[in-house]
Structure 1
Amino acid sequence: MNEPKHTTTRPIRVPVVLWEAYGRVCKRLATDRTNDLLDRMRERIREYGDETDRADLAQAEQELAERRARKGGRPRKRE
């Protein structure tokens, strides 16, 4: 399977009022929806994942760390 070289947007279906309430709660917790959802996914994988799932989590964490290290986003293409 071809793995993407970057994070991708994952649309989910959720009622607007639920999404808005969740956003307010995340704001009060000094986080955002993305980070909160990522934390929950990590928790579930650590608790219920098998060896393969945990290895994939480690790979994903590395990808996220590399993205954060760039801080400016993708490097500019050279002309």
Structure 2
Amino acid sequence: MSDDEKAPAKTPTRPIRVPIPMWDAYGRVCSRLGTDRTADLLNRMREQIKTHGDEQDLADLAAAEQELAERRSRKGGRPPRS
């Protein structure tokens, strides 16, 4: 991998347009479920890719999971999913 192709130092943020009341309600629901918005959205994205993705999508998902695992190992990891 060339210097230009190296992954950024941290996972980039992706802005989305969501009405504030919906975002607030979603945050409360996620909290009651013992998760947060990011984890919940990532899990939904995984489900969609696994269900509807083609070979390239699944390969990209595998690469993304590897990137997340490497980032977490440098940060001490995350608690196991419940």
1:18 aligns with 2:22: yes
Please identify runs of 4+ aligned residues in structure 1 that moved more than 6 A.
none
Give the deviation of 1:4 after TM superposition: 6.2
One-letter code aligned to 1:18: M
Name the TM-score, length of structure 1 as normaliser.
0.84
Correspondent of 2:60 among 53, 56, 59? 56
Partner SS for 1:9: coil
Aligned residue number for residue 7 of structure 2: 5
Partner Cα separation in structure 1 for residue 50 and residue 20 of structure 2: 30
Give the deviation of 1:26 after TM superposition: 0.4
Aligned residue number for residue 37 of structure 1: 41
Gaps of 5+ in 2: 77-82
Q: How many residues are matched?
A: 71
One-letter code aligned to 2:43: D
Report the RMSD for the aligned CA atoms in angstroms. Answer: 1.5
Name the TM-score, length of structure 2 as normaliser.
0.81
